[in-house]
Amino acid sequence: MLNVSATRMENLRLRKRVALATRGHRLLSQKRDEISRQLVKIATLIKPLRQRVERELLETSRRFMMARATMEPEAMTAAIDVPTKKFNLAISFATIMSVKVPELAKEISGDIMCYGFSTTSGELDVALRALERAFDSLIELAEREKQAQLLATELQSTRRRVNVLEHVVIPEIQETIKFIYNKLGEAERDNASRLMKIADIIRS
């Protein structure tokens, strides 16, 4: 119970406060439920996306191993030593239930194959193209996982706030209102009793 004065003004103030807390609890509960729904939606996308990334990276690694097996080490080093493809990552932000989440977009220029074909094998070409294709999946996976992380953090925070309102703040205010109501009732009964005694004294 809160430490307040048992007055009508305090009772009115606490009633307004409990109404505000109840409305806040309802809104936060709706936010919690919507964040949970969005988090489940993203989580269902992450699992198959991660599996696809793992397959693509495994295929890329296998292709590079085959290229190394069919080329001289010096030729392999020379082929990939001076890349001509430039990769930039553009980050923008969207809002999901007041949570800012990143949206990633790649900006690529140039060709990933920056070597002559006389001293390289076709496996190196295939490996580099496989790596290029894996970029899109990697970027999407990073975007989804970061969104899930941010939403999970916000969900945890929102749940704590909902629990504090539901189990601490609102019950404390309601208990205090009940205490003030009882105190005011006692005061009114005491006043009524005194008035009756005074009336009896006057009549006598």
Sketch the domain layout of the chain as residue ranges. Answer: 8-197
pLDDT tens per residue, range 42-80 = 999 999 999 999 999 998 888 888 888 887 787 777 777
Q: Among residues 44, 110, 33, 115, which one has the least CA distance to residue 74?
A: 115
Closest CA to 56 of 139, 142, 138: 138
Write the pLDDT tens digit of every residue in 172-189. Answer: 999 988 888 888 877 777
List the one residue out of 139, 143, 138 whose CA is nearest residue 103: 143
| Residue range 8-197, CATH number | 1.10.287.3240
88: helix, strand or coil: strand
Helix axes 73-80, 8-69, angle to 10 degrees: 140
- Say which amino acid occupies 96: I
Tokens in use for 79?
Answer: 């082929």
What pLDDT sits at residue 113? 66
What pLDDT sits at residue 149? Answer: 94
